[in-house]
Amino acid sequence: MEENEFEGFVRHHRYSFEERGPSAKVWEALEKELPKKSSGGIVRSLQRHWLKVAVMLVLLINVGVLVKMFVLNKPAQPGTAVTLSNPAPSTEDAQVYYTSRIEQKLQAIRQFPPDQTGLDSAALAELQLRNSTYDALQKELKANPGNERIHAALIQYYQMKVELLDKILDELQEKHPRTQKQLNYERTI
């Protein structure tokens, strides 16, 4: 067969080459078998990852505080007496207080099995007391020990960390209440 004869044959018998698809009944049956999609969308996905969202929110706030400190940082006035070697005693007391509270909260979170907390290793690293934000604040505090904004930012960092850990603990205790036997065991330790 030549090319022209082949084309003519295909045109003449075109209906024989075309196949009809499945009937409408088949498609209706398949649609009934498919699972129904929930209409939650973004809200549903946020409910699954609320803890990660909370950690990211704290990180964004910390970054915002640091950016604000760097942008609005003004040098101390010449007439102001500044102690360059030690931070203010009230700041040291606050550091001791908040550090102990944060460590207590972290210890309570660590008592839950890792699969119940819903925290991955990155989230746990950010929850630790000494993370990148803390290191940046300490570096700035060493460079500018008399700057009250840095002291205030450090205390705000501690407060936000304690609030976040409190919320996480409340959620964990709400989802996984401890039995009386567990509480008695903890009291004996």
- Percent of the chain at pLDDT > 70 equals 72
Return d(Cα 110, Cα 128) in angstroms, integer.
11
Phi, psi at residue 144, to the nearest 5°? -135, 75
CA distance 4 to 16: 19
What pLDDT band is residue 108 in, cutting at 50, 70 and 90? confident
The C-alpha atoms of residue 85 and residue 90 are separated, in whole angstroms, by: 15
- Res 86: pLDDT: 47
pLDDT in tens, 69-105: 887 765 544 444 444 344 455 778 888 888 888 888 8
